[in-house]
Structure 1
Amino acid sequence: MILHQCKVKNSDYKAQFFRAVEAIPAKIFQELHCTDNLYFNPKYLISLAENHPNIDFWYVILYDVHDSPIAFATIQIVDFFLENVQNDLKGIAEKIQKIGRRLGLITNRKPFKILTCGNTFVSGEHGIFIKSNQNKQQVIKELAKSVVQLVNDEKQFSYKISGFMLKDFIHESLFVSDELLEYNYHSFNVEPNMLMQIDKDWHNFSDYLGAMKTKFRVKAKKAMELSFPLDIVEIDESNLQKYLPEMEVLYKSVSSKAEFNLGSFNLESYGDLKKNLGENYLIKGYVLNGRLVGFLSAMINEANLDAHFVGIDYEYNREYAVYQRMLYDYIQIAIENKLKQINFGRTASEIKSSVGAEPQNLTIYFRHKNHIPNKILRFFINKIQPTPFSQKFPFKVKTLVAQN
């Protein structure tokens, strides 16, 4: 069922909006050739939507002048409270609140409704799929225009949309996404995405250790020794409910430290992700004397390993090197599965760089729906900067041998 369809204004393009992935004809996915990338696979998208009833999920199909599908975008409408902004961004959020209340633009009673084009739960360009051989600048512009048209047709929503956000564009895409600046969007960077290339000559974890400088190799071996008392268990559909209460506590202890959270991930999603994606979705638990003190989750997506959410009991983290062990386990998983790259995500940039990851800057575009608050936001958004960190270089002079 198509809930909304529109011809993009001043354009020959057409957009269709769906409220459920299941409503999108399979033929469209076949024509787009997008499902090999699991972020655009119905099995993954259904797992998220079914477990987050507090988020409105929409899906956009853009058609060209020949009525052929050329792009697919995922949309989530989330509640956002400025009070939830933490750390270095907290001061900026408080100033926005102060001015917004003075002008009557912000109240304490209602959250902002943010329409996000992108993946709320994962760092990277996982929200917009554009078919090959397309004019990406034009497609991004048409998608942005069609979303504004949807929101302006207010009968589609029982609430007011406060702002639009498109995330996360890598540096190489900025010549495309900067088209949005012409439509009164503001751009800013948050914490970088930490990426690590897997050398094609690494056949096991020992090969990885052998590529490291002595200082970092000693550090890795020390972490493995400290974490030796931990029992590592595979978590799947059979034992998820057993560990879930502890996992939720550990997840919240980590997520509460993040500067910028658009939404809280429902860990019940893990059951559907394991069921729908099978061996491509991994969850490991770290148990100390019968108590869960950490967990990691990850998705094998084509040739990449994408680190998803983790949970840590910080009381035991230093003594047993829980988080360091997780990072090394991610690396071991990638090597064993002959993958090319690990996407470690945001946060904890320095420790991730110490195991071999390098920063990838990501740009977010945001605009308030209304003109006056959008002009006010510009001055504050320009002040948002990623937290600086000391980049480590753990490998010997030899350049990593990239995989084909």
Structure 2
Amino acid sequence: METTTYQIYTSIAKLHKSWDEVAHKNVFLQSHYLKVLEESAPTNMQCFYIGIFEKETLIGVALAQYLDLNKVESFGERDQCIKTYIRNFIFKNFASHALFVGNNMITGQNGYSFNKEINAITIAEILNNCAAEIVSYFKKQDVKIQIVSFKDFYQESATELRKSTFSLLYEFNTQPNMIFELQNRWKTNSDYIEALTKKYRDQYKRAHKKVEGIETRELSLEEIISQENRIYELYFHVAKNAPFNTFFLAKNHFSSFKKQCGSKFILVGYYIENELVGFHTLLLNGSVLETYFLGYDEQIQKEKMLYLNMLYNMTKFGIENQFKKIIFGRTALEIKSSIGAEPIVMSGFIYHTNKYVNKVMANIFPKLEPTLVWQQRHPFK
């Protein structure tokens, strides 16, 4: 650590000139994506961009996000039970000001990137120091950060981080990340369908037949802007009915994404007689296809199996464009497994800034995560 330093930025305009060279392996750390956050982050979020230096040379970049959960109008309306009320009470009273070192808007190990090998002990020290500095920054503004979370590490990275000061933190595993490893032999969508068992080929055919009459097309920036209110209405319907939320997107989020990321961001609309009834979004991240937010009309979704058809369409895009994997994220685990995605366990590390609350974190944290019972499907021969 003697020659390793860091600089925390609050504006994209101040980033080091080598930022994108260091972040080239991960689109979620590149400046055009960070500009999306700067232009259209959720209203309860503030972002911090961290440059990590070896002497004068930038060797790493990282992202941190502050969330004021007092500004979230709903933590999620799907599950109305005693445990949900307990969870909401705990968040309001003990975790309403949260700092995430990483990206709370997406699933996956997207919190930092280095252009050289850095050992886990050094990474942990840097991230801890950055978190402490941001906590101090807010303290000077009379805002007390209660929760600090280092989020989303694949198991190999988590194992290494356990050898560092992270061993003193509470390690948690939330719902798994659903990842679809695409087979090299699949060159067309027909190859994928052929690989399915009869039961899941029949599911595909049934869903495909249901969606007849719906037109799909990729929207340009101008079309996204013109449909912005409708897109947000469809997104918000899905988001507020999720089991848990810590933010809601800004209305201009999708148009900002398209403006900043261009062809790397795709929004596909689903139309019935020129009325937008659903959409899904994709982000091209090197050889990885990242699924992003979506929305739909609930009645059309039920009648047309719209969500399942969206999953099939995203899979088709991934195969036909020769991506190696598709990141489907944490929601709807069972239906995603039915198309071929598999659960990958991810870890996070967390602490409470109140030392007394922190001592009982192992008892408190399980009450914050919605309980989910699901059955993994195995759709291939």
TM-superposed deviation, 1:299: 0.3
TM-superposed deviation, 1:89: 10
Q: For 2:236 and 2:165, how far apart are their aligned partners in 1? A: 34
Within 5 Å, give how 1:376-395 maps onto structure 2. Answer: 376-382=360-366, 384=369, 387-395=372-380
Q: For 1:190 and 1:238, how far apart are their aligned partners in 2? A: 38
TM-superposed deviation, 1:329: 0.6
Equivalent position of 2:17 in the other structure:
26
Match 1:297 to one of 275, 278, 281: 281
TM-superposed deviation, 1:139: 1.0
- Assess, with a 3 A threshold, how the Cα gap between structure 1 residues 181 and 136 changes in structure 2: closer, same or farther: closer
1:47-99: CA deviation from partner (whole Å, max 9, x where unpaired): 121112732111112234x4433321111111124962566797456446768
- Assess, with a 3 A threshold, how the Cα gap between structure 1 residues 236 and 52 changes in structure 2: closer, same or farther: same
**Residue identity in the other structure for 1:73:** A
- Assess, with a 3 A threshold, how the Cα gap between structure 1 residues 387 and 98 changes in structure 2: closer, same or farther: closer
Name which of structure 1's ranges 303-312 and 232-241 shifts more when overlaid on structure 2.
232-241
Q: Is the 8 A contact 1:130 1:139 kept in 2?
A: no
Q: Is the 8 A contact 1:195 1:341 kept in 2?
A: yes
Matched, 1:288 2:272: yes
Q: For 2:244 and 2:16, how far apart are their aligned partners in 1? A: 35
Matched, 1:196 2:186: no
* Secondary structure of the structure 2 residue equivalent to 1:311: strand
TM-superposed deviation, 1:359: 0.5
1:114-139: CA deviation from partner (whole Å, max 9, x where unpaired): 11111121111112113332113321
Q: Is the 8 A contact 1:44 1:277 kept in 2?
A: yes
Within 5 Å, give how 1:228-377 maps onto structure 2. Answer: 228-377=212-361
- Assess, with a 3 A threshold, how the Cα gap between structure 1 residues 92 and 16 changes in structure 2: closer, same or farther: farther
Matched, 1:70 2:59: yes
Q: For 1:100 and 1:286, how far apart are their aligned partners in 2? A: 36
Q: For 1:25 and 1:238, how far apart are their aligned partners in 2? A: 32
Q: For 2:91 and 2:33, how far apart are their aligned partners in 1? A: 38
1:184-225: CA deviation from partner (whole Å, max 9, x where unpaired): x32222221111011111111111101111110111011111
The normalised TM-score by structure 1 is 0.85
Q: For 1:98 and 1:251, how far apart are their aligned partners in 2? A: 26
Give RMSD over aligned pairs.
2.6
* Secondary structure of the structure 1 residue equivalent to 2:187: coil
Unaligned runs of 5+ residues in structure 2 are none
**Residue identity in the other structure for 1:119:** N
- Assess, with a 3 A threshold, how the Cα gap between structure 1 residues 29 and 89 changes in structure 2: closer, same or farther: farther
Q: Is the 8 A contact 1:169 1:177 kept in 2?
A: no
- Assess, with a 3 A threshold, how the Cα gap between structure 1 residues 292 and 140 changes in structure 2: closer, same or farther: same
Q: For 1:341 and 1:122, how far apart are their aligned partners in 2? A: 16
Identity %: 26
- Assess, with a 3 A threshold, how the Cα gap between structure 1 residues 390 and 12 changes in structure 2: closer, same or farther: same
* Secondary structure of the structure 2 residue equivalent to 1:139: helix
Q: For 2:246 and 2:42, how far apart are their aligned partners in 1? A: 15
Q: For 1:223 and 1:349, how far apart are their aligned partners in 2? A: 18
Unaligned runs of 5+ residues in structure 1 are 1-7, 397-404
The normalised TM-score by structure 2 is 0.90
Q: Is the 8 A contact 1:191 1:386 kept in 2?
A: no
Name which of structure 1's ranges 118-127 and 267-276 shifts more when overlaid on structure 2.
267-276
1:158-202: CA deviation from partner (whole Å, max 9, x where unpaired): 52222211111122221133335444x322222211110111111
Q: Is the 8 A contact 1:186 1:381 kept in 2?
A: no
